[in-house]
Amino acid sequence: MVGTPPPPGEALAHLRDRVGRPRTTRLLSDRRGSRTWKVHGPLGAVAVKANNPDDETARNKAAEIAQEDSHITRLIDAGALNPGYRVGAGTWDGGRWIAVRWVDGTPPVAYVRPRPRPRR
């Protein structure tokens, strides 16, 4: 029997300054070529997403995660997302990972600031 895969070690090392040494990691999703974990430490919690290099049915998820990071960064730069939402991103032996702040009970869309409507 295969155990639950852990998040990439490179991601956990990067996150120590943000959440401390992880107390728990819980795999939330493992489908369509990517995995997502909730990582909880003494300083808070984050969601970590990484491509699954062992999934033969996956497309190039590493490139998709890089694109997702680019979109989040652009939304932050445009003022549409809180800068604290993106915690980090990088590469690991199997591809790419991204981490965002964990928000209990609040979907990510809640972090999108409404754009002012032009006056007519």
Instruction: Return the DSSP state at 21.
Output: S
Instruction: Express each pLDDT in 58-67 by its tens digit.
Output: 668 888 999 9
Would you say residue 37 has pLDDT above 90? yes
What pLDDT shows up at residue 114?
74
If phi > 0 it is left, if psi is from -120 to 50 it is alpha, else beta; for residue 20 that is left
Percent of the chain with pLDDT over 90: 57
| pLDDT at res. 57 | 67
In CATH terms, the fold of domain 9-105 is Phosphorylase Kinase; domain 1 (3.30.200)
pLDDT reported for residue 75: 95
Give the pLDDT confidence score for residue 1 in this predicted structure: 40
Domain positions in the chain: 9-105
Distance CA 59, CA 48 (A): 19
- The predicted model gives 90-114 an average pLDDT of 82
Q: The pTM is what? A: 0.81
What CA–CA distance (Å, rounded) separates 117 from 120?
9
Q: What is the pLDDT of residues 70-100, one digit of tens each?
A: 999 999 999 999 999 999 999 988 889 999 9
